[in-house]
Structure 1
Amino acid sequence: MVDLNKIVQAKRTIANFIETTPFAKSSKLSECFSANVFLKEENLQRTGAYKIRGAYNMIANLSDEDKKNGVIAASAGNHAQGVAISAREFGIRAVIVMPEATPLLKVAGTKALGAEVILKGDNFDEAYAWAIDYANKKGLVFVHPFDNVFVQAGQGTIALEMLEDVPNLDYIVIPVGGGGLASGVASCAKQINPKIKVIAVGAKGAPAMFDSFNAKKQINSKSVKTIADGISVRDASIITLGHILECVDEFVQVDDEEIAGAILHLLEAQKIVVEGAGAVGVAALLNSKFSYKKNSNIGIILSGGNIDVQTLNIIIEKGLIKSYRKMAISVTLVDKPGALMGLTNALKNANANIVKIDYDRFSTQIDYGDAVITITLETKGKSHQDAVKAVLEEKGYKFRQIF
């Protein structure tokens, strides 16, 4: 495990640079799950994610000669911004290699912090391989996102803050991709209080560390696909796997539907914006992926909040449809004055709010003199949608529900 003294030293090193983020009790989650649920809001960290802790700690511990040469990192975004802002603080060059599919928000954010950005590869591991080769050619120091003791110690400072705020934590729930966060936090927690249960949470679309944990040996994935891009790591690290096997009590997985549901819950019920990786711990709780004792103190790390706006929009729209708060119907009307008004009056009587209307009289699928009306509605749940359909049937409208 990562030595506690290194984590304590890391806390001193980064103290004047990083934010001490809130570790706030969620009254809604606590009431719903009969436990005291606390959320460590690293989404409010400088650069919007915890990665800045480890990046700054490693760069701070470089020799003067290494600092002169500059640093390079491979990252899907959060580690990139952590390295970029830390390098800027020390006045040194930073090159960041990112997968080609990295959200524009993270690319722009990294460039804004003064780093040179190079897009290479389909995933983290391909970007990593290119960055290692480039570092050797150019004499740059590689700042690894998880396979470095200074990085792991920096991430472990999160556990120190959590236990300072809530000393009697019973469970700590940690997102896992490469394993740097889990290595630092789990090592810290177990050395301070071995009775704390550490729950690791991975994405089903990136199963390498989960499979490796269960097999107790390194098992890499052939490919990764998940909305939790911050933990979308194809290959398991032998170094962090060793820490996780030593310090983690249970490893669970959540799928993209569960992650999206947790993002929506945090946004709507908690007023907290998180990215996919930051939501996996809450997703595990919401979907009963691990057991706990009633009235336990559960700490969940929200590792980051740098979610792409387009991704967030898709999650919101799909969430509204799945919770029966939005529906779309297609209705065929006789194309004459007043026909549309009759339809909208029927929907008004059903207390459905119209969001969008499309009017098509040119479709080859309808008779001459008819028109197809596609209407998107805001509704208040499944029973309300059933009531809307009942009103339309009562009025004699022929319709088809699209979603």
Structure 2
Amino acid sequence: MTVTLAEVRAAEAMLAGIASRTPVQGSRPLSDLLGRRVVLKCENLQRAGSFKIRGAYVRIARLRPEERARGVVAASAGNHAQGVALAASLVGTRAKVYMPEGAPLPKLEATLAYGAEVETAGTSVESALEAAHAYAERTGAVLIHPFDHPDVVAGQGTLGLEILEQVPEATTIVVPVGGGGLVAGIALAARAVRPDVRVVGVQAEHVAAYPPSLAQGTPTSVEGRRTMADGIAVSRPGDVPFEQVARWVDDVVTVGEESLSRALLMMLERAKQVVEPAGAAAVAALMEHPGQFAGEGPLVAVLSGGNIDPLLLMRVVRHGLAAAGRFLSFSARIPDRPGALEELLRVLAQMEVNVLDVVHERTSATLGVDEVEVALSVEARGPEHRARVEEALRTRGYVLHYR
């Protein structure tokens, strides 16, 4: 089950003309934060919107003719689904994909557009994977696992070779981690070429199976919580990538939801890159744990995917603005008399705050007969400005309830 550099090289040859050679881009804000050059590897610009086409194509292209004739089946929250659907269409075999209920609509529609048959099953990737296993047993279709197969790891490893070709002096590579296929492939390839390169994985703290698994020396399941980073929300590492991660990856850190949303916002504003929350995990780690990434030489942060539902993007941007101190949503009770609302708005105007939304509620069982509740959403210029606005309101007697 061990993957070698030779297998990654062979996968690289297979992917010539199939996978795009995605660009790298320097990041001044992150370089200033860390005190070292930071480069973004923009795999969000890959075909089908993520790195998944690499492993999926290598796995499917290596099937025997009789296996291709039976078709392939996969389970995914979205990115692997699109990668398998595209790869199957390129190879010329049928694909069926099971996706969790509530999977992002753009990912579902893109999977269908690549020619796959899609069916929903359960509410998690694990339940969709169970359905895919059952379908494979019933029909003989070949299961294309999202991360737990040597061919998939070898395909993802081509990204590591590409990074070192584009940034040959890189000393650190930071990679989002779900089941581990991407970080395993990058680490084994990069360390085989440059043993001194440091590789760090990043997981969403709400579903972080690798830290306890590495501590115990074996893949271990965790009870996950809901996270915006659905692309890396995997509750148990894969057996194949775990072996490589334990051997080659230097560290695995976790990031919170606020850091994920702030990282996504930074990528939009400063890098002009659209990424999904999982794809921004490496950047989130640099922002949340800058001290852990001190060092010499360039650091490469992998933007692993850009397939994000526009509705989720709206929510995450708002979350990111709030986390960055640039958005404030609160309610306050004011006297039920003419001019009371005007007084509140005047305070905000004096603080140079832009009011985005006002809701004036007069009827509620919890309100006194002489008061009303006002809910406001306002823009601030950053954490310090937001703190001054809050202090100005409290000084004038307003009690703030945050929404």
Same fold (TM over 0.5): yes
Name 2:400's counterpart in structure 1. 401
Calculate the aligned-residue CA RMSD, in Å.
2.4
Shift of 1:2: 1.9
Identify the residue that residue 131 of structure 1 maps to in structure 2: 132
- Conservation of the 8 A alpha-carbon contact between 1:213 and 1:251: no
TM-score by length of 1: 0.91
Superposed, 1:257-276 pairs within 5 Å as 257-276=258-277
* Partners of 1:393 and 1:159 in 2: CA distance: 53
Q: CA separation of 1:359/1:53 partners in 2, compared to 1, >3 Å: closer, same or farther? A: same
Residues 83-120 of structure 1 deviation map (CA, whole Å, 9 limit, x = unaligned): 00111223321100112242222222211221111111
CA distance in structure 2 between the aligned counterparts of 1:391 and 1:254, rounded to whole angstroms: 33
1-side partners of 2:198 and 2:390: how far apart?
Answer: 49
Cα distance in structure 1, aligned partners of 2:263 and 2:186: 22
Determine the C-alpha separation between the residues in 2 that align with 1:179 and 1:391. Answer: 48
- Note if 1:37 corresponds to 2:47: no
Structure 2 residue aligned with 1:199: 200
Displacement after TM superposition at 1:224 (Å): 5.0
Change (3 A) 1:382 1:113: same
SS at match of 2:109: helix
Change (3 A) 1:382 1:250: closer
Whether the 8 Å CA contact 2:150–2:240 is kept in 1: the answer is: no
SS at 2:207's partner residue?
A: coil
Distance 2:400 2:32 in 1: 36
Gaps of 5+ in 1: none
Equivalent residues in 2 for 1:90-101, closer than 5 Å:
90-101=91-102
Aligned pairs for 1:4-403 within 5 A: 4-288=5-289, 291-327=292-328, 328-336=330-338, 340-341=341-342, 343-366=344-367, 371-385=372-386, 387-388=388-389, 399-403=398-402
Q: Secondary structure at the match of 2:206?
A: coil
Checking the alignment, whether the CA contact within 8 Å between 2:263 and 2:283 is kept in structure 1 is yes
**1:126 Cα deviation (Å)?**
2.1
Structure-2 separation of matches of 1:82 and 1:127: 16
The change in CA–CA distance for 1:118 and 1:340 in structure 2 (over 3 A counts) is same
Give the distance between the partners of 1:194 and 1:238, measured in 2 at CA.
23
Tell me the TM-score normalized by structure 2: 0.91
Q: How far apart, CA to CA, are the structure 1 residues paired with 2:319 and 2:185?
A: 35
Q: Relative to 1, partners in 2 of residues 1:71 and 1:326: Cα closer, same or farther, differing over 3 Å?
A: same
> Match of 1:7, SS?
helix
In 2, Cα distance between equivalents of 1:393 and 1:106: 45
Structure 1 residues 361 and 218, CA, compared in 2 at 3 Å: closer, same or farther? Answer: closer
Q: Is the 8 A contact 1:125 1:235 kept in 2?
A: no
Q: Is the 8 A contact 1:21 1:44 kept in 2?
A: yes
Distance 1:287 1:346 in 2: 34
Deviations 1:111-152 (A, max 9, x none): 122111111123222221221111121121111111222211
Contact 1:76 1:98 in 2 (8 A): yes
Equivalent pair of 1:355/1:378 in contact (CA under 8 Å): yes
CA contact (8 A) 1:333 1:373 kept: no
Offset at residue 226 of structure 1 (A): 2.5
Structure possessing the higher radius of gyration over alpha carbons: 1
Q: Secondary structure at the match of 1:234?
A: coil
1:352 aligned partner, one-letter code: V
State whether residues 173 and 301 of structure 2, in contact with CA within 8 Å, keep that contact through their aligned partners in structure 1.
yes
Q: Closer, same or farther in 2 for the Cα pair 1:242/1:200, shift >3 Å? A: same
Partner Cα distance (1:363, 1:44) in 2: 50
- Tell me how far apart the structure 2 counterparts of residues 8 and 347 of structure 1 sit (CA, whole Å): 61
Identity of aligned residues (%): 37
The alpha-carbon deviation at position 358 of structure 1 amounts to 1.9
| Inter-CA distance 16–286: structure 2 relative to 1 (3 Å threshold) | same
Q: 1: distance between equivalents of 2:293 and 2:393? A: 48
Tell me if structure 1 keeps the 8 A contact 2:360–2:373.
Answer: yes
Q: 1:373 to 1:70 in 2, by over 3 A?
A: same
Q: 1:267-318: per-residue Cα shift (whole Å, max 9, x none)?
A: 2332222222212211222122773454321111111111233333222223
